[in-house]
Structure 1
Amino acid sequence: MGQGAEEQQETSGDQGFHASEFLVGLGRGLAGALLFALPMQMTMEMWDLGHAMDRWRLMTLMILAIPLLIGIAHRIGFERTFTWREGVRDAMVAYALGILASALILALFGLLDTQDSLEDIVGTIAIQAVPAGIGALLGRSQLGSGGEDEAEEDEPGMGYGSELFMMAVGALFLNLNMAPTEEMVLISYIMTPWHAFLTILLSIAVMHGFVYAVSFKGGHALDAATPWWHALIRFTLPGYVIALLISLYSLWSFGRLDGAGSMPVLMSMIVLGFPGAVGAAAARLIL
């Protein structure tokens, strides 16, 4: 009986510890939602899109955010160890924190006018809730205590598909900051094809250099026997293609491609693909 009581006490202690970790994670999540989403919450284009964005596109963005958040939560959720079921829970909590943080900040700034329709108020909050929800989950990764044990838990080995997924997350997060702005379209009209070609080369070089060449913390050192082009073909080029596709979706989602011809669409995608590539590369380092 003594041994059984001790085991029961240990189990109870573990559950209390995990509950404590979850509460700390909530605090970090709320801080992350504010830290990562505040630039968008203070951007005029995002306020306008809350009223004007096509509701089907907004709904599509919100629905796509759910599996995205679940994938991130399974990687870096509010607790150190968790199952897929707990990952779904963490994703929903992060989404709720994103909605709460967005509503509070927008209300604080007087951007939720009581004269507006309920649809416009919900739309204004909803469009901000997606990046805020992502920020809530990134909060645990970026605002952690920095302890050695936590660092080890936060850096499990990732499969190839997981690495591509995290690159897509990084590209989307940075694209959500840039795609709503008029400057993306303006730059694409100013640029010549030579500018676009050089932007593509720079985007690929930055992606590859971030992770392999300049030895950032979290970077991936290449084995001496591995040829330099192996990582370029296996990770960097697929990552850049992902960044371009995410950029295309972001521009379409925010209506920046409506009525545009094929060349302006291509140029806009290349322009937005540059910050998308930076975000994709950074995601492999920090997540």
Structure 2
Amino acid sequence: MSETAQGAHDARDDGFEASEFLVGLGRGLAGALLFALPMQMTMEMWDLGHAMDRWRLLALMLLAIPLLVGIAHGIGFERTFTWREGMRDAMVAFALGIVASGLILALFGLLDARDSLNDIVGKIAVQAVPAGIGALLGRSQLGSGGEEEAEEDEPGMSYGSELFMMAVGALFLNLNMAPTEEMVLISYIMTPWHALLTILCSIAVMHGFVYAVSFKGGQSLEADTPWWHALIRFTLPGYAIALLISLYSLWSFGRLDDAGSMPVLMSMIVLGFPGAVGAAAARLIL
């Protein structure tokens, strides 16, 4: 191939990659709005913007960075990239989350010029984490059919990667629920028998989501594989992860302050139900 032809070929490749990245940005912004809009329109999240402990908010944002990098390495805004490009995509997704959150809050008059800079930054920051995750999920959910088919041909994730994605799914759904007063209220209403049934239902729903109802992306078991293999290998570890993520989410939003061990346990079990659903759904979506 001549130097001229090679140059033209490289230019076309660069143009295609730039176009693909811009399309990914559009999907990312759409994903940020789609997945984070319910939280952006709730009073609890607005209040957290100025009431949440700043160290806990900083911890949440710092935790979001490796989570976003991990998701970006598996999804990102392009089909193939290195870890360095995954870091780039994670930062772009976080930026999209910040922009989308700021625009929505400003659109509805929730960012007032009379608010302090600390309150404005807090309101946007607490919303930017779920919006950033949504920005990365935009590619997997809003991609074209051709990309989905290409992704179906890719090799499956490692065991550690699947557990990581479960943690991301649990955190994403917990961020919707943990800020609400209802989580604590339900935990006070429930009896220990209700809690036990909730645990069993969480495990059953989580297991059925992936293995029983045959959702797209679910895992099918070989004929000679015992039924308990998937339960022990995926479902129970996934539920344990969902409970830990629930505990962190409740602590992060101050829902466990001055609470005894039993209320903490009950609240964790309550939030663990949507966390388990999010963990199971992550294996289907991502």
Report the CA distance between 1:145 and its aligned residue: 1.2
Question: Which SS does the other structure have where 2:256 is aligned?
Answer: coil
Report what 1:151 is aligned to. 149
Q: Is the Cα contact below 8 Å between 1:184 and 1:271 reproduced in 2?
A: yes
Report what 1:255 is aligned to. 254
Report the CA distance between 1:17 and its aligned residue: 1.3
Report what 1:106 is aligned to. 105
Aligned partner letter, 1:242: I
Report the CA distance between 1:4 and its aligned residue: 4.3
Distance in 1, Cα, partners of 2:270 & 2:217: 27
- What runs of 5+ residues in structure 1 fail to find an aligned partner? none
RMSD: 1.1
Report what 2:189 is aligned to. 190
Report what 1:180 is aligned to. 179
Name the TM-score, length of structure 2 as normaliser.
Answer: 0.97
Report the CA distance between 1:3 and its aligned residue: 4.1
Q: Is 1:54 equivalent to 2:59 in the alignment? A: no
Report what 1:216 is aligned to. 215
Report what 1:225 is aligned to. 224
| Deviation readout 1:108-130 (Å, 9 max, x if unpaired) | 11111111110011000000000
Cα separation, partners in 2 of 1:91 and 1:101, compared to 1, 3 Å: same
Distance in 1, Cα, partners of 2:254 & 2:93: 27
Distance in 1, Cα, partners of 2:158 & 2:9: 33
Report the CA distance between 1:19 and its aligned residue: 1.1
Report what 1:244 is aligned to. 243
Report what 2:121 is aligned to. 122
| Deviation readout 1:182-240 (Å, 9 max, x if unpaired) | 00000000000000000000000011100001111111000011111001000000000
Distance in 1, Cα, partners of 2:7 & 2:82: 22
- What runs of 5+ residues in structure 2 fail to find an aligned partner? none
Report the CA distance between 1:6 and its aligned residue: 3.4
| Deviation readout 1:34-65 (Å, 9 max, x if unpaired) | 01000000000000000100000000001110
Q: Is the Cα contact below 8 Å between 1:29 and 1:94 reproduced in 2?
A: yes
Report what 2:135 is aligned to. 136
Aligned partner letter, 1:158: M
Aligned partner letter, 1:263: M
Identity of aligned residues (%): 86
Aligned partner letter, 2:187: S
Distance in 1, Cα, partners of 2:253 & 2:260: 16
Task: Give the alignment of 1:3-152 within 5 angstroms.
Answer: 3-147=2-146, 149-152=147-150
Name the TM-score, length of structure 1 as normaliser.
Answer: 0.97
Report what 2:162 is aligned to. 163
Q: Is the Cα contact below 8 Å between 1:80 and 1:150 reproduced in 2?
A: no
Report the CA distance between 1:5 and its aligned residue: 3.8
Distance in 1, Cα, partners of 2:23 & 2:115: 36
